[in-house]
Structure 1
Amino acid sequence: MARKKIPIKKIDNINARQVTFSKRRKGLFKKAQELSTLCDAEIALIVFSTTSKLFEYASSSMQQILERRDRHSGIQGLVNPSIGQQLGSDSLGILRKEIEHKTNEMSQLNGEEIQGLTIKELQKVEELLQRRWTTISKIKDEKIIQEINHLKTKEAKLMEENQKLKQSFVREQRQPYESFTCSSSEFPPDCGCLYLNETKMLVQKTIVRS
């Protein structure tokens, strides 16, 4: 029975696409390695996933193969040699690795490109998420403490204002009696006069003319 031929078209399912990409990429690199070994050929492969993750394979040195390719096609003559020296292979390599690292972090945090990761790589992703979570928790705790301190300050101000209102109310209630004076010569005999005693209590005194 003939094997059913799989149509070559874009895979709609994202998970299935990621799994297929991982398997076929490994198969492609394996074939390139076999071709290099069997035929003593210099081979370089550069692959970008849909999430811009970089994968590359070189039978010797990727930089040397690219330079050889530039010399072969005459591209190198169009580039200023001083500029090429300033960039340097080391700087380009560091920049490339940094871009790849940041791209991988974003893809992994978004849940992409996880299906094809090894256990060691998954542990690194887990550590990255834990560091992110620790940072988020720290910031959240700081925000909560700031909010609590703000509320305490606001409460203290309200209590202070409330105390001032109480004192003002008490003074307004006492003022009519404190300003009132009584003299026995100004009132007729047996006059009932209200006044404040030494303890600030309102009492009634009967004044009797002698």
Structure 2
Amino acid sequence: MVYPNESQENSKKMGRGKIEIKRIENTTNRQVTFCKRRNGLLKKAYELSVLCDAEVALIVFSNRGRLYEYANNSVKATIDRYKKACDSSHPGSVSETNTQFYQQEADNLRNQIRNLQKTNRNMLGESLLGLPMKELKSLESRLERGISKIRSKKNEQLFAEIEYMQKRDNDLQNNNKFLRARIAENERKIQNMNLMPEGSNFEAMTYQPLDSRNYFKVNALQPTNHYHHQQQDQMAIQLM
């Protein structure tokens, strides 16, 4: 039979005891504890940022130098905000801090400009003596990719120009055929007009319908009454 006091004492002994806060000497235990507590710390930071709408930035470096971080906005932005908050408590140092910040930004921009200028010279084949083999290979691959893109773009433009010229040539040929047909039609009309006798009138010929064989009807080729009477008068004069 177990008495109540004894059960309470046993539960206290079996429960989780307090851990002494000091450096863990065992390497394996220290690493396992670091992983567990790191994850718990990151989880708590996330919960704090979500539940309380707080701006949280957490930075952790392990004993091996590995970086672990969490920020609901940005670690750099939160650090900059922290610096401004610290500078606001010391107004005299605000201008100095701003000066240092802008100087650092100017130095970074100068370095970026120098790197870009160096890259441009390397792309042009200049200042290649001090480059290692790895950078030379990387530069060669970038140049080859750039050349392939330029060639593909050039081929696209050439194909577009060829298609335009072919289309234009077809249009010119069609126009040329149309003009030749018009010229031939006009020449046939002129020849037909030259073959007509003087004083004859065949204007009705162009308005006469065609027969089933696409020929003009016979009566369409008959001379007009004026020409017939004039011919009879000339024959009567000759007989006299």
TM-score for both structures, normalised by structure 2: 0.37
TM-score for both structures, normalised by structure 1: 0.42
- Structure with the greater relative contact order (CA < 8 A, sep ≥ 6): 1 or 2? 1
- Structure with higher strand content: 1
Q: Which has the larger radius of gyration?
A: 2
